[in-house]
């Protein structure tokens, strides 16, 4: 056992000496491995960072949050038919479905109602009307001030809660609490500023304003009722499916849908949306890793070619080693470890470059911080070692099978 260990240590030392002696050639040899590992790590780090950020946001919501939205198939859209959820649908669910809480309607103000003004400054943003339960459902809480309450909603008070980015866009100086902004030609008092959430895919998650639902409905005016979405929390997660079915039956009856007609709404849970996101990120990681993994194979072929050249250059050296008593196994082990050493060195450099590239890409396109999971590191090094073994075996076997007499005569 000690003899085998000694041979491995000596072969590793010899491999390191050979790599350092031909530094530039070794770098070019491992370039394919470096590019392959760097590409894999960069892709995985960006996707995993994004996935972790999205998962943390869904964790704030909870897995028992249910969202109901109107849905119109493309064929019906082309025919000019647009499905809607109404406030009556909201009331039906609120009073006829048991085992739920924090139910709230949400409506978006569009057009001129999405323009906000403050002391000569003007900006377009998302203006959302919702209930006081919105903050509990989606884990969005004020950094300063307060969120509007049930009394604000019932009284149609003109109060607003701002996303953090609105402060910069309107150049609001000092404390915004108590100041007034104009939305859709109406004055609103600022009562709170929400916690900063940052950007995702370049999309500013803090560029919006929340108003009480009834206030927003009054702001919109008009005879036509707007399309709303409905969010709620299921008190007992084990009853989630039965409650979803109850809501489905209620809405189908409310919308007078026949048995042959498909739903004109969609019921989704936070867990379903998270599963969808995870499936997308996992598939993206696998596909992109498979594509850039081809670079590792190309790098392996490059290493095999250089190792074959190295065997030819060191033919006399191999002859001398055999003349001094080195066995075929000793020579095989020496060249095999050298190939693996080159691949692992390339993998280490590629890991550092890949993480740096992932962090750079994340910062440039406003993605969450790059994360490199341990499985990606282990997979990269494992694949690098595997490439070294696979493409190093032919040069190593060639070196081990050289006839010592012919090797010593080689010029």
pLDDT surpasses 60 at 61: no
Q: Are 363 and 198 in contact (CB under 8 A)?
A: no
Which tokens is 119 given? 């002391």
pLDDT at position 187 is 92
pLDDT surpasses 80 at 377: no
Q: Are 396 and 331 in contact (CB under 8 A)?
A: yes
The residue written with tokens 């607003």 in the block is 160
Which tokens is 61 given? 């919501």
Q: What is the percent of the chain with per-residue pLDDT over 70, rounded to a whole number?
A: 80
The residue written with tokens 């997979």 in the block is 379
For the segment 99-112, what is each residue's pLDDT rounded down to a tens digit?
888 889 999 887 66
State how far the Cα of 128 lies from the Cα of 166, in Å rounded to an integer: 14
Question: What is the average per-residue pLDDT within 353-371?
Answer: 73
pLDDT at position 202 is 63
Question: What is the average per-residue pLDDT within 59-80?
Answer: 75
Burial-class residue 218 by CB neighbours within 10 Å (0-12, 13-18, 19+): middle
pLDDT at position 162 is 93
Question: What is the average per-residue pLDDT within 326-343?
Answer: 75
Question: Residue 231 half-sphere exposure, CB side, CA atoms within 13 Å?
Answer: 20
Choose among 147, 74, 160: nearest CA to 109: 160
State how far the Cα of 79 lies from the Cα of 81, in Å rounded to an integer: 6
Choose among 171, 345, 365, 373: nearest CA to 285: 373
pLDDT surpasses 70 at 283: yes
pLDDT at position 387 is 76
> Residue ranges of the domains in the chain?
2-57+276-409, 84-263
Q: Are 358 and 370 in contact (CB under 8 A)?
A: yes
Burial-class residue 167 by CB neighbours within 10 Å (0-12, 13-18, 19+): middle
pLDDT at position 199 is 73
Choose among 219, 215, 119: nearest CA to 169: 119
Choose among 301, 385, 393, 306: nearest CA to 18: 306
Q: Are 164 and 194 in contact (CB under 8 A)?
A: yes
Residues 6+ apart with CB under 8 A from 51: 277, 278, 281
Q: How confident is the model at residue 145 (pLDDT cuts 50, 70, 90)?
A: very high
Rg (CA), the chain: 32
State how far the Cα of 184 lies from the Cα of 114, in Å rounded to an integer: 7
Question: What is the average per-residue pLDDT within 120-139?
Answer: 86
Which tokens is 203 given? 């999309």
Q: What is the percent of the chain with per-residue pLDDT over 90, rounded to a whole number?
A: 10
Secondary structure class of 132 (helix, strand, coil): coil
Mean pLDDT (the chain, rounded): 79
Residues 6+ apart with CB under 8 A from 288: 43, 47
Question: What is the average per-residue pLDDT within 294-310?
Answer: 74
pLDDT surpasses 90 at 56: no
Which tokens is 320 given? 């001398």
pLDDT at position 144 is 92
State how far the Cα of 242 lies from the Cα of 27, in Å rounded to an integer: 62
For the segment 227-265, what is each residue's pLDDT rounded down to a tens digit?
889 988 888 878 888 988 999 999 999 888 888 888 888
State how far the Cα of 202 lies from the Cα of 6, in Å rounded to an integer: 55
State how far the Cα of 100 lies from the Cα of 78, in Å rounded to an integer: 36
Transcribe 344-361 into DSSP letters: HHHHHHHHHHHHHHHHHH
């Amino acid at each position: 056992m000690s003899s085998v260990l000694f041979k491995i240590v000596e072969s590793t030392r010899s491999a390191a000496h050979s790599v350092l002696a031909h530094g530039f050639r070794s770098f070019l040899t491992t370039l394919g491995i470096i590019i392959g590992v760097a590409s894999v790590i960069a892709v995985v780090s960006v996707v995993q960072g994004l996935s972790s950020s999205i998962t943390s946001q869904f964790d704030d919501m909870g897995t028992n949050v249910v969202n109901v939205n109107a849905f119109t198939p493309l064929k019906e859209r082309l025919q000019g038919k647009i499905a809607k959820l109404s406030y009556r649908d909201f009331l039906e669910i609120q009073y006829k479905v048991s085992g739920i809480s924090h139910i709230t309607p949400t409506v978006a103000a569009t057009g001129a109602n999405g323009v906000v003004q403050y002391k000569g400054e003007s900006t377009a943003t998302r203006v959302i009307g919702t209930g006081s339960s919105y903050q509990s459902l989606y884990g969005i809480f004020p950094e300063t001030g307060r969120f509007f309450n049930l009394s604000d909603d019932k009284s149609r008070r003109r109060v607003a809660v701002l996303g953090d980015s609105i402060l910069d866009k309107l150049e609001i100086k000092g404390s915004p609490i108590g100041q007034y902004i104009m939305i859709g030609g109406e004055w609103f008092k600022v009562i709170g500023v929400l916690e900063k959430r940052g950007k995702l895919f370049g999309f500013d998650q803090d560029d919006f304003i929340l108003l009480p639902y009834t206030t927003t409905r009054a702001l919109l005016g008009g005879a036509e009722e707007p399309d709303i979405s409905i969010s709620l929390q299921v008190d007992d997660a084990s009853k989630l499916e039965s409650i979803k079915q109850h809501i489905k039956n209620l809405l189908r009856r409310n919308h007078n849908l026949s048995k042959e007609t498909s739903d004109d709404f969609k019921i989704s849970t936070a867990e379903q949306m998270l599963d969808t996101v995870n499936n997308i990120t996992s598939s993206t990681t696998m596909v992109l890793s498979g594509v850039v993994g081809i670079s590792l194979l190309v790098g392996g072929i490059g290493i095999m070619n250089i190792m074959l050249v190295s065997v030819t250059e060191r033919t006399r050296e191999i002859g001398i080693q055999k003349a001094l008593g080195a066995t075929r196994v000793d020579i095989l082990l020496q060249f095999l470890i050298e190939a693996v050493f080159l691949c692992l060195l390339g993998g280490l450099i590629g890991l550092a470059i890949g993480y740096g590239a992932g962090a750079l890409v994340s910062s440039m396109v406003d993605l969450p911080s790059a994360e490199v999971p341990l499985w990606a590191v282990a997979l990269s090094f494992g694949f690098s070692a595997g490439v070294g073994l696979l493409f190093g075996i032919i040069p190593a076997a060639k070196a081990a099978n050289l006839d010592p007499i012919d090797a010593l005569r080689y010029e």
